[in-house]
Amino acid sequence: MKSTDSLKAKGSIKVDIIYGNGKKYIHEFDNTVLITGREALAKALTNTLGTCPAATTTSTGELVPSLYINAMVFGSQGVDGSGTPKVVSPARTALYGPAVVSKGVNSYVDGTVTTNAVFVATLLFGDAVGYSINEMALQLSDNSLYSMVTYPSLVKSADMQVTFTWTLSFV
């Protein structure tokens, strides 16, 4: 196989903001698939995950590893002093600052583009109120990060609900 024929993992995020007064805004941006995420894919496909917190055991004692994206984590240190989003290197292993909030995801395979995995999480009206959310990541069940993105600050208020739809594409 030529290196140009290799599988590429990429992702995009759609952000739907709904305000209490009914106004709606949509933002879209791309993410960086981290090395830890690419390694997780390789291990899953070769059944070499080893043990992880979500692993189970069969009735005969055989280990059944289970590694999957279970959360979106959000932070507030993804921009520099001038408000410019920080660059996300594929070698990153954590958000730039501590997580402000972590939300479980609803996940599914896109019915139209079956090579797309979709993850959805919502910051409800009362979540992360007063924080400038400007970085987020998809977290695996072993607490490592799959992919990450930084973006201009979104100051979360109690008058807004924000739904993040993160699509990972394997092309």
Residue-level pLDDT at 7: 56
Neighbours of 46 (CB within 10 A): 8
* Local mean pLDDT, 10-residue blocks, the chain (171 residues): 56 93 94 83 68 63 72 98 96 96 93 88 97 96 92 96 92 67
**What pLDDT is recorded for position 1?**
41
Three-state DSSP state, 86: coil
Residues 6+ apart with CB under 8 A from 87: 150
pLDDT of residue 64: 57
Which pLDDT score is estimated for 2? 47
Query: Do residues 49 and 65 touch, judged by C-beta distance below 8 A?
Result: yes
- Closest listed residue to residue 74, CA positions, set 12, 142, 151, 19: 151
* pLDDT confidence of residue 50: 62
What's this model's pTM, rounded to 2 decimal places?
0.83
Domain residue extents for the chain: 8-32+69-170
CA distance 158 to 93: 31
Distance CA 91, CA 88 (A): 8
